[in-house]
Structure 1
């Protein structure tokens, strides 16, 4: 049987006979107490109380130097959870109101028998143990629900980068996540890594790098990180001056490079946005970082891409009518983009492509046909590869772009053709990936159904069992199901618990063990937290329904 901790008691009483009587007439240990100290007045008692940190303080009111009320006020300030029992005579009852204001637990009139005092102390002890257990259960529950807190933080950060929020609401929500968005300047960095070889080991390495970079900035007051969909890791940098933000951005890029240097099997890209003033303009910094990051498809090697350098290049790059364009380079860029790019990046990517093709390539009928045929071949190859050479409806849609080639007569037609076929190809890639991800998530759900009663069951356990990265699995589960793994497992276990409550005579303790909880108190706590009533209430309700 688990040992219950003893409740520590300190006694302050200026009358030696009374103090000695209280101390000697109660069997402290046998009743679950530990007598940790005594004193004859409040002044002597105070430092001893702070040193021993008792759970219960018994004190007389009228004492020399520092009286019981003054002592109670001092002690409550240092040990807010302490329970205080005041001993007083009839003529001191006027102190009762002040005692209530201080937060005194019990107010006992002298003379008091040892039995009456013990009865009071046992009642207080039970309250302390119950409160202690509730706190422990709450801590455990919050730890279990930590994944949900991360999900809410993710939603909040996504919102401030994509929509307008009132300053009051933004600051309030930020505070709930221990974030400070009352700075003057902001910037955004986007980082992601990609395996050089398309295999499971490469995906594991990518997630390792993302996790290491995210952990590097855990608790940092000037850099907030979160993993955003397919884009990768987003860094929100903030400080009081533009120079400081620029310096932090440079340090962040250096840290990313340092972490990535040990992963030779990966290519990585960093997009650095433009610093903005005011948190209201944070989404503009994010859009500029996205634009910088989208230039990764023009890079053969790992690269850090700055929006300011890109915009400077755009303003000075004048493509001459007869300039030579490396078609092979464009083809490689396109292959990378349809493998890794997102639909929302297509317009920006095609704009860049068209700037390279402007001139003779667009004006010449032969070159126009050559370019769009090349784009068509690259996209068809990707679609057929994704389909394992099956002639699916989606592949047919992409193949039908061949019929549009004859109607491509000018620059606008070229732009529309390239944009549309790339969009269809990426959409099909996502359909294939979704099916692949769905298979993995279905395997996770199957393992939950088979092993939910395992008391060591966790996200880490299932990730090891399926040989996938834990962080990757957590993000994928949320992406595919709309709820965290923790939430899903909790709901599944509670549903199974309710079935047993309604259909069997098993005790709540037995049911909690059956559905994977070591501690029946924790099962009851979680159940009430989620449902608003206890497991026993649910059982009674279901049985009353059956009787009706």
Structure 2
């Protein structure tokens, strides 16, 4: 079994090579774990498999003995799990798979078989991270929409202010918000402001500059341009056509 495990595919080592030779090379497991984790986070299953297969090949090429090979593969998986940043509920699912893997770790006859199981666990982690990102993204998007509802009348509201409120980077938030809502934050903010402006123009006798101020525009002229772009009419035209007597 030692010989089969080491080389795989029925290739046999000479007995004197079952112990690690002096020229055996140490493997940088954290570097490989980082590469695998990067593909896990990107959701690229083919690349996850490719990297773990390459890691297994480097173990073979290093002439590590069976026990050290097992330790390398085990440490790769443990490092990935420890740095994946899964929420507790999802991490518990992976921990159970990890326990099952560790229970059978010395029963593998080939390094390739072990690599296949490690790949399956890493693919599962990738799927759980995807679910976690979707859930987190929807939550952040809903919080941003609530922020718009509560603050649209403030002319200081912008992308930076909402990101400061949510404690999230502007680039990440922009991608996340667009993915969840189908529109940019500024588009959502402007849409809300236009909705409220129409209500005021329909139900009050407020002047254009007053409406602009009420819905978060410090510049009445810019408000008129934005309103016409959204409705096809100027605020004055819209009020004449829709204002309740």
Q: How does the TM-score come out when normalised to structure 2?
A: 0.65
Counterpart secondary structure, 1:415: helix
Q: Distance in 1 between matches of 2:148 and 2:178?
A: 15
Q: Distance in 2 between matches of 1:379 and 1:447?
A: 36
The Cα of 1:488 is off from its aligned counterpart by 1.7
Counterpart secondary structure, 1:517: coil
Asked if 1:523 is matched to 2:223, the reply is yes
Question: Paired residue for 2:74, among 373, 380, 384?
Answer: 373
Q: Is the 8 A contact 1:376 1:402 kept in 2?
A: no
| Change beyond 3 A, Cα 1:393–1:470 | closer
* Greater C-alpha Rg: 1
2:155 matched to which residue of 1? 455
Q: Distance in 1 between matches of 2:146 and 2:26?
A: 51
Question: Paired residue for 1:356, among 58, 63, 67?
Answer: 58
Structure 1 gap segments, 5+ residues each: 1-320
Asked if 1:410 is matched to 2:110, the reply is yes
Q: Distance in 2 between matches of 1:408 and 1:539?
A: 77
Instruction: Spell out the pairing of 1:384-403 with structure 2 (5 A cutoff).
Output: 386-387=86-87, 390=88, 392-393=89-90, 395-397=92-94, 399-400=96-97, 402-403=99-100
| Change beyond 3 A, Cα 1:469–1:378 | closer
Q: Distance in 1 between matches of 2:142 and 2:98?
A: 35
| Change beyond 3 A, Cα 1:454–1:467 | same
Higher relative contact order (CA 8 A, sep 6+): 2
2:206 matched to which residue of 1? 506
Q: Distance in 2 between matches of 1:370 and 1:505?
A: 77
The Cα of 1:462 is off from its aligned counterpart by 4.0
Structure 2 gap segments, 5+ residues each: 1-12, 18-22
Q: Is the 8 A contact 1:361 1:367 kept in 2?
A: no
The Cα of 1:422 is off from its aligned counterpart by 1.9
2:24 matched to which residue of 1? 324
Q: Is the 8 A contact 1:501 1:539 kept in 2?
A: yes
| Change beyond 3 A, Cα 1:397–1:465 | closer
2:194 matched to which residue of 1? 494
Post-superposition Cα deviations, 1:197-241, rounded to whole Å, max 9, x if no partner, equal: xxxxxxxxxxxxxxxxxxxxxxxxxxxxxxxxxxxxxxxxxxxxx
Instruction: Spell out the pairing of 1:214-293 with structure 2 (5 A cutoff).
Output: none
Q: Distance in 2 between matches of 1:444 and 1:362?
A: 53
Q: Is the 8 A contact 2:36 2:51 kept in 1?
A: no
Which structure has greater strand proportion? 1
Which structure has greater helix proportion? 2
Q: Is the 8 A contact 1:459 1:470 kept in 2?
A: yes
Post-superposition Cα deviations, 1:349-388, rounded to whole Å, max 9, x if no partner, equal: 2243122023697995x566545433443344345x632x
Q: How does the TM-score come out when normalised to structure 1?
A: 0.33
Q: Is the 8 A contact 2:59 2:69 kept in 1?
A: no
Corresponding residue pairs, total: 218
Q: Distance in 2 between matches of 1:421 and 1:458?
A: 42
Post-superposition Cα deviations, 1:96-129, rounded to whole Å, max 9, x if no partner, equal: xxxxxxxxxxxxxxxxxxxxxxxxxxxxxxxxxx
Instruction: Spell out the pairing of 1:34-433 with structure 2 (5 A cutoff).
Output: 324-327=24-27, 329-330=28-29, 332-337=30-35, 339-341=37-39, 342-344=42-44, 345-358=47-60, 364=66, 369-382=70-83, 386-387=86-87, 390=88, 392-393=89-90, 395-397=92-94, 399-400=96-97, 402-403=99-100, 405=104, 408-433=108-133
The Cα of 1:414 is off from its aligned counterpart by 3.0
2:7 matched to which residue of 1? none
| Change beyond 3 A, Cα 1:471–1:399 | same
| Change beyond 3 A, Cα 1:325–1:427 | farther
The Cα of 1:515 is off from its aligned counterpart by 0.4
